[in-house]
């Protein structure tokens, strides 16, 4: 290797590094801006459909939380709704049984319950790997579901938990029929969670988790415990899912067993893989595309839309195997590399 090419390479490493450093803030800003723009566009384009949009936000939080454990840590789970539902029920029970109707306190309750559920699920889930782990997650979500069904004096059982009353947000904004307050509340929650998660995923801890996903043996060989890190991530994930659950409880004022269901978990996983795992944007894109597509086709043909959704999933696997966002990102970076090479 000659001196000259060596120094060019070194210089290019230097620029890469600077680009990366600068990229943190700008990518965060792009992300926040993108959410704000999409949220505003949703508000302007579908002012009559804010309930759907709020629901998308709640599910997006669930999918983000799933991305943390599946996308960043490589733990496949079909039981993420256990965390989401715990948050939803906690928020709902606070209001319906304890008269705590402040939406912020209810959200806090949801976050705590989600984190606790995350801890419990994490401890159990990490006993196995691969397929058996997937089955553990299924067993867990069914246990949570059954528990909620049994504790019907608290949860309303299969009739759902109703009687959730809401104080105005900050004492100012009533939760109204059109769902404006709930929508804005949801958008703000999403922005906060997104910003915090951006910080977490590029932090040393985030890097550790990516390492665990790729090779836990190597992580142990540098003296870190994958188990501890994964439990921690599960708690964070639970808090995020709990936020989504609380938002769902607040915006709909009902919580039912489906919030804790296997179906909900599986749908979340489908949305995540659809968007692309291992990236917060992927989680958001997947949720948005799936929910909007489902809403569109199920309104267009309420009787046979499932086939269309199935076809969408197949098409995505065939033509965008890394998920929608992952594949777009690959295409863009491939183009950047090409243009980079042709530059003198």
Partner 1 sequence: MQTVFSIAVDALAYGMVLFVISIGLSVTMGLMRVVNLAHGGFAMIGGYIASYVARDLALGYGLALIAAVVFTILIAIPIERLLYRRIYGQPELTQVLMTIGITFCIIGIANFVMGPTLKTIPLAPALQGSADLGFRTIPVHRLFAIACGLAVALGLWYAIEKTNFGIKLRASVDNAAMAAALGVRTEIVYAVSFAAAVGLAAFGGVVGSEFLPVEPYYALRYMVTFLVVVSVGGAGSIPGALAACLLLGAIDTTGRYLMPEFGEFFFYLAVIAIICVFPRGLAGRAK
Partner 2 sequence: MKKAAIAAFAVMALCGTASADVIKVGVVGPFSGPFALQGKNFKAGIDAYIALHGSKIGDDTVEIVYRDIPTADPAQSKALGQELIVKEKVQYLAGFYFTPDAMAVTPILKQGNVPMVIMNAATSAIMKTSPLVVRTSFTTWQTSTPIAKVASDAGVKKIISVVSDYGPGVDAENAFKKAFEAAGGQIVEAIRMPLSTNDFSPIMQRIKDSGAEGVFAFLPSGPTTLGFVKAFNDNGLKAGGTKFYAPGDLTQESDLPALGDAALGIQTTFHYAVSHDSPENKAFVEAATKAIGNAAELSFPSVGAFDGMHVIYKMIEATGGEQDAQKAVDAVKGLAWTSPRGPVSIDPESRHITQNIYLREVAKGSDGKYFNKEVQTFEKQGDPGLAAAK
Partner 3 sequence: MSAVFEVINLKKAFGGLVVTNDVSLSMMAGDRVALIGPNGAGKTTFVNLVTGALKPSSGEVRLRNEPVTRIGPTGRVQRGLVRSFQVTRLFQCMTPAEHLGLAVLQRTGKSAQLHGNFLTRPAVMEEVDDLLERLGLYALAHRKVREIAYGQQRLLELAIALALKPSVLLLDEPAAGVPQSDTGRIEDALANLPADLAVLMIEHDMDLVFRFAKRVIVLATGTIIFDGLPADVTKDARVREAYLGSYANAGLNA
- Cα–Cα distance measured from residue 286 to residue 71, given in angstroms and rounded to the nearest whole number: 13
Q: Which does 159 bind (CB under 5 to 8 A by kind): partner 3, partner 2, partner 1, none?
A: partner 2
Query: Contacting partner 1 (CB under 8 A), which of 132, 171, 223, 344?
Result: 132
DSSP structure string for 35-79: HHHHHHHHHHH-GGGHHHHHHHHHHHHHHHHHIIIIITT----S-
Q: Is 317 in the site for partner 1 (CB under 8 A)?
A: yes
Query: What are the structure tokens assigned to 267, written together?
Result: 């749908």
Q: Does 86 bind partner 1 (CB under 8 A)?
A: no
Could you say which residues in the range 71-110 bind partner 2, by CB under 8 A? none
Contact flag: residue 119 with partner 3 (CB under 8 A): no
Contacts of partner 3 in 197-256 (CB under 8 A): 199-200, 202-205, 207-208, 210-211, 214-215, 217-218, 220-225, 228-229, 232
Phi, then psi, of 27 in degrees rounded to 5: -65, -40
Question: How many residues would you count in the chain?
Answer: 344
Supply 292's token pair.
């909007």
Choice from 148, 231, 255, 316 touching partner 2 (CB under 8 A)? 255
Choice between 10 and 152, CB closer to partner 2:
152
Compute the distance between CA of residue 53 and CA of residue 200 in angstroms, rounded to an integer. 26
The strand ranges marked E within the chain are none
* Whole-angstrom distance, CA of residue 267 vs CA of residue 249: 19
Count of residues touching partner 1 (by CB under 8 A): 40
Q: Residue 179 interacts with partner 2 (CB under 8 A)?
A: yes
Q: Does the protein bind partner 1 through residue 65 (CB under 8 A)? A: no
Is 313 among the residues that bind partner 2 (CB under 8 A)? Answer: no
Tell me how far apart the alpha carbons of residues 163 and 211 are, in angstroms, rounded to a whole number. 46
The site for partner 3 (CB under 8 A) is made up of: 6, 9-10, 12-13, 16-17, 20-21, 24, 199-200, 202-205, 207-208, 210-211, 214-215, 217-218, 220-225, 228-229, 232
């Amino acid at each position: 290797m000659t001196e000259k090419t060596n120094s060019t390479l070194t210089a290019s490493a230097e620029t890469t590094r600077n680009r990366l450093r600068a990229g943190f803030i700008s990518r965060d800003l792009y992300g926040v801006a993108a959410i704000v723009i999409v949220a505003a566009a949703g508000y302007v384009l579908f002012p009559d459909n804010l309930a759907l949009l709020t629901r998308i936000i709640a599910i997006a939080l669930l999918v983000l939380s799933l991305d943390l454990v599946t996308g960043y840590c490589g733990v496949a789970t079909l039981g993420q709704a256990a965390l989401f539902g715990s948050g939803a029920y906690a928020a709902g029970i606070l209001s319906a049984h304890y008269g705590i109707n402040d939406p912020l306190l209810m959200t806090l309750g949801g976050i705590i319950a989600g984190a606790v559920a995350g801890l419990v699920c994490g401890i159990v889930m990490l006993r196995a790997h691969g397929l058996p782990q997937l089955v553990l997650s299924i067993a867990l979500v069914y246990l949570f579901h059954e528990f909620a069904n049994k504790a019907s004096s608290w949860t309303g059982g299969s009739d759902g938990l109703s009687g959730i009353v809401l104080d105005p947000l900050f004492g100012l904004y009533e939760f109204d029929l059109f769902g404006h307050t709930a929508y804005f509340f949801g958008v703000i929650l999403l922005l906060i969670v997104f910003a915090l998660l951006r910080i977490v995923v590029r932090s040393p801890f985030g890097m550790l988790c990516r390492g665990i996903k790729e090779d836990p043996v190597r992580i142990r060989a540098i003296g870190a415990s994958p188990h501890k890190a994964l439990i921690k991530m599960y708690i964070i994930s639970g808090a995020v899912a709990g936020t989504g659950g609380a938002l769902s409880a607040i915006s709909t004022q009902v919580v039912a067993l489906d919030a804790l269901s296997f179906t909900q978990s599986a749908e979340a996983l489908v949305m995540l893989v659809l968007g692309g795992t291992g990236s917060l944007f992927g989680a958001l894109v997947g949720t948005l595309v799936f929910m909007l597509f489902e809403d569109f086709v199920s309104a267009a043909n309420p009787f046979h839309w499932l086939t269309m959704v199935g076809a969408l999933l197949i098409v995505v696997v065939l033509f965008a195997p890394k998920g929608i966002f992952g594949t777009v990102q690959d295409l863009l970076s491939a183009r950047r590399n090409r243009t980079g090479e042709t530059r003198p």
